[in-house]
Every structure is written in C-alpha cells, then in structure tokens.
Amino acid sequence: AQPAAQLKQRLAALRKRVGDDGTHYPDCEAIVQEFWDYDDADQAKARSISHDYRQRRLAELKAGIRNVRTFRGNPKPPAP
C-alpha cells in the first residue's frame, strides 16, 4: 500500500485503540473527516488554505508582528 494509506490505517487503529471518536475536539475531527480521502478537490482546498495562511503571515511579519499565537486559532463569528 501507499505510505499515506499505511499511515491512515495506523492512525485509524490507534484512534480505535485509545477510544478517540472525535467528540473531544469536534472542530479538529471535522477537518480530519473533510480531508481524509484527500482527492483533487481536497488538495486544491489545502493549497488555498496554505496560500492564504502564507499571505496573512507575511503581512504580519511586514507589520512587525513576530509572536502570533496561532495555536489559539481565529475567533469564530457569532452564530446568526
């Protein structure tokens, strides 16, 4: 099998073994499920996300913003 397929099998087995069903971090789980098959459309979206992040980060660096806490993510807009 391809390395990616092998890694997916190992990840799925590990998640099952430790009881990770995605409910503890639903936002993260949504991303895992969205990109799990990683077809051409997923690749295009991933490239777009990467490009957007790079542009945002370059703008931050140009503005002298060096220590951005990216691990906290972006605030979600209020629900309608």
Query: 23 vs 2, 14, 15, 27, 72, CA distance in Å?
Result: 29, 16, 12, 9, 19
| 35 domain-assigned | yes
| 34 domain-assigned | yes
| pLDDT value of position 58 | 93
| 16 domain-assigned | yes
| pLDDT value of position 72 | 65
67 has pLDDT over 90: no
| 37 domain-assigned | yes
Q: Check: CB of residue 3 under 8 Å from CB of residue 14.
A: no
| pLDDT value of position 4 | 87
| 29 domain-assigned | yes
| 73 domain-assigned | no
Q: Which domain holds residue 41?
A: 3-62
Number of domains in the chain: 1
